[in-house]
Structure 1
Amino acid sequence: MVARTGNRWWIVSLWGLVMVSALGVVHTTHQSRVLTAELEQAQRYRDELRYEQERLLLERGAWSAYSRIEQVAKEQLNMHAPKPSERVLVTAN
């Protein structure tokens, strides 16, 4: 009888370990899926930010072009290139 009780204990213990292992696999698989979804979302956000950065760089380039600056200076600020008679020479002491 002692042998049967000992065998049952081993079977129950092994069965319990298999169940714990199975639950660990389920938990790990779930965490992996959650983290993969978060990674994909972060990569989409990164791509959107890259696109926005490129668009802003192009826009900055257009706004800072010399022709654009000259146009704004002439039209909105009524500026013009100084004539030779309007130039003043500043000397250093």
Structure 2
Amino acid sequence: MIRTLLIIVILANVATAIAVVYARHQHRVLFVQLNALDKTRDELNIEFGRLQLEQATVAESTRVEQIAHDRLGMKSPETEDVVVIRP
């Protein structure tokens, strides 16, 4: 009886030790994945900030006007060319 109980306790102890080793291994794997995702997040945040600055530069009205004038040959209408239509 005591011998059977001792074998059960030893097997439970070995199973617990294996479970602890497996849990630590999973923790390490997940920690590496977390670090990789953190790095990706940081890179995407940097790219997002750069794109926001680029958008602000491109959307600036003076820049749009300059591009319209230089590339498309557009110009602001003269006062005599403006027609106001009233209902």
Gaps of 5+ in 2: none
Q: Does 1:75 align with 2:70?
A: yes
Of 53, 56, 64 in structure 1, the residue corresponding to residue 51 of structure 2 is 56
Gaps of 5+ in 1: 1-5
Where do 1:23-42 residues align within 5 Å?
A: 23-42=18-37
TM-score by length of 1: 0.88
Q: Does 1:12 align with 2:12?
A: no
Identity rate, percent: 31
For residues 37 and 60 of structure 2, what CA distance do their matches in structure 1 show?
34
For residues 28 and 80 of structure 2, what CA distance do their matches in structure 1 show?
76
TM-score by length of 2: 0.94
Higher Rg: 1
For residues 25 and 54 of structure 1, what CA distance do their matches in structure 2 show?
43
* Number of residue equivalences: 87
Describe the SS at the equivalent of 1:8.
helix
Structure 1 residue identity aligned to 2:62:
S
Q: Which moved more, 1:69-78 or 1:21-30?
A: 69-78
Structure 1 residue identity aligned to 2:51:
L
